[in-house]
Amino acid sequence: MFAYVMAAADLNLKHNLVKGLFTGCMTGNPKVKDDVQVALKKSATTYARLIETNPTGQDATGGGASSCFLPPFTPPPFFHYCARYSFETPYRGGEEKKDESEEEYHFFAKRRVEHDILDCAGESKAFEPFLSTTPQKIEANDPDWNVLAICAVVRAINLAKEKGCKASNANEEVA
Q: Phi, psi (5° rounding) for residue 105? A: -115, 120
Q: What is the pLDDT of residue 95?
A: 74
Q: What is the pLDDT of residue 58?
A: 57
Secondary structure percentages of the chain, helix, strand, coil, to 5? 40, 10, 50
Rounded to whole angstroms, the Cα distance separating 73 from 81 reads 19
CA 175 from chain center: how many Å? 34
Q: Phi, psi (5° rounding) for residue 123? A: -65, 130
- The answer to whether the CB of 166 falls within 8 A of the CB of 141 is no
Rounded to whole angstroms, the Cα distance separating 85 from 66 reads 18
Q: What is the pLDDT of residue 56?
A: 62
Q: What is the pLDDT of residue 21?
A: 55
- The answer to whether the CB of 66 falls within 8 A of the CB of 47 is no
User: Looking at the DSSP assignment, which residues form a beta bridge with residue 85?
Assistant: 108
Q: What is the pLDDT of residue 6?
A: 83
Q: What is the pLDDT of residue 45?
A: 92
Q: Phi, psi (5° rounding) for residue 132? A: -150, 155
Helix (H, G, I), strand (E, B) or coil at 36: helix
Q: Phi, psi (5° rounding) for residue 131? A: -130, 140
Sites in the chain below the pLDDT cut of 50:
25, 61
